[in-house]
Amino acid sequence: MENLFQINFEKGHVLAVEDSLVQAKKIKYFFDENNMPSVICSNGKEAYDSAKENKPVLIISDIVMPVMDGYEFCKKVKQDPELFDIPFILLTSLGDPLDIIKGLQAGADNFITKPYDSDYLLSRINYLIANRHIRKMGSGDMSIEIIFQNQKFLINSDKKQILDLLLSVYEAAVNKNMHLIEAQRQLEMLNDSLNAANKELEAFSHTVSHDLKSPLNAVIGFADLLKCDYEGILDADGQSYLDYIIQAGRNMAQLIEDLLAFSQSGRIELMPEKINLSEMAASICNDLRQMNFVAQYDVKIDEGIVVNADPKMLAIVMNNLIGNALKYSQKQPAPSIHIGSFESNGKKVIFVRDNGAGFDMLKADALFRPFIRLHSNQEFQGTGVGLSTVKRVVERHGGAIWFESEPNKGATFYFTID
């Protein structure tokens, strides 16, 4: 970094106060890099004692510190006849307007916002030391009583201090505004990139749904025909090979469907309406039991569950949750599922509960991430994408989803729709 500092430090040093070891090392490195003799203290009391013993040319202090904070330390220095003329910089986040008032009340000369820019800190040090003679010329002390946020404050600072302090606050605000403008520009660029990526994703989805599914359906269809038409010609091994091809094809087709649903769940415009969730759940459960799950289930669906949601998206949620409940409980002697709701903290919580295989909660922290599965395909078929889609749909509706489970004691998935 180019050294802009012009003041001769042969007869003095900078005193810095910082209770954080990491920040203390950082500011020590800054002083060394710019050839500034320095003393680093960890609290205001230690720093005050150091200043009394060996007067510094400038003090830089954090505000929040043990023993004696930055405001008290600054006030003590400014009230000391031997130290009052030392330029004093407070390091602060300026998170509260009272920071400025307290800084004025304490007699600080400048604020530096954290995290600070090294070049800016260097310029402030240079400015304060270069202009310290103005105060020695005697600009006249002034006492101002002000009321701010229903509190009374007495400001004992000279005009130069007040001007420097307010200018430093204004400069910090300008710098933050410039950063916000740049962040907004970057955000707009990212948004343009996101829009372009979404268009590419739509094109990809179209390719997947047509160019990949069509040949895959042909493979599955002809394998089925081969199995049926040549049943008497193929031996047992040939038949098992065809079964494997058909099953693998169907798994691949399901994965494509799940990936399409996942990609669309994040960008399809939601069209919420009043939905009887009890009727939707009953219809989905009936369809799934006819197509895939033929065990003798005990199914309980609470009546009168009504929500306001996008019907297509909510159907994806219920298909996945009910499908999982049926799948993971089908090997139980008396499989059962319960779909219901209850009120909690003013919100309707919907749940899908089963008495199936369950899972270890300690291993389920990534359950909603794509392709994460807690059971092998040998135990239960699946793609690991369904719950990721469910979570995305629920969150797009302003809701949340969570679960409870134990191995071999079933699982319950809860979700809300705002």
Tens-digit pLDDT profile for residues 258-314: 667 666 666 677 888 999 999 999 998 988 887 777 778 899 999 999 999 988 889
DSSP per-residue codes, 20-89: -HHHHHHHHHHHHHTT--EEEESSHHHHHHHHHHS--SEEEEESS-SSS-HHHHHHHHHT-TTTTTS-EE
* Residue range 71-121, pLDDT digits in tens: 899 989 989 999 988 888 888 765 666 777 777 778 888 777 777 778 878
Residue 264 contacts residue 256 (beta carbons within 8 Å): no
Residue 343 contacts residue 349 (beta carbons within 8 Å): yes
Q: Which residues of the chain have pLDDT under 50?
A: 1-6, 137-140
Burial class, 188, CB count within 10 angstroms (exposed 0-12 / middle 13-18 / buried 19+): exposed
How high is the pLDDT of residue 140? 46
How high is the pLDDT of residue 416? 93
CA end-to-end span of the chain: 53
Q: Domain coordinates of the chain in residue numbers? A: 14-157, 196-265, 273-416
* Residue 71 φ then ψ, to 5°: -65, -50
Measured CA to CA, the distance from residue 178 to residue 180 in angstroms comes to 5
How high is the pLDDT of residue 116? 75
What superfamily would CATH give domain 14-157?
Response regulator (3.40.50.2300)
CA 332 to chain CA centroid, Å, is 40
Amino acid at 67: V
Fold (CATH) for 273-416: Heat Shock Protein 90 (3.30.565)
How high is the pLDDT of residue 1? 41
| Residue 166: half-sphere exposure toward Cβ, Cα within 13 Å | 9
| Residue 22: half-sphere exposure toward Cβ, Cα within 13 Å | 1
Q: pTM of the full predicted structure?
A: 0.47
Amino acid at 146: I
CA 406 to chain CA centroid, Å, is 29
Question: Cβ neighbours of residue 7 under 8 Å, at least 6 residues apart?
Answer: 57, 125, 126, 129, 130
* Of 353, 257, 348, nearest in space to 309 by CA: 348
How high is the pLDDT of residue 5? 42
How high is the pLDDT of residue 48? 93
How high is the pLDDT of residue 107? 82
How high is the pLDDT of residue 2? 42
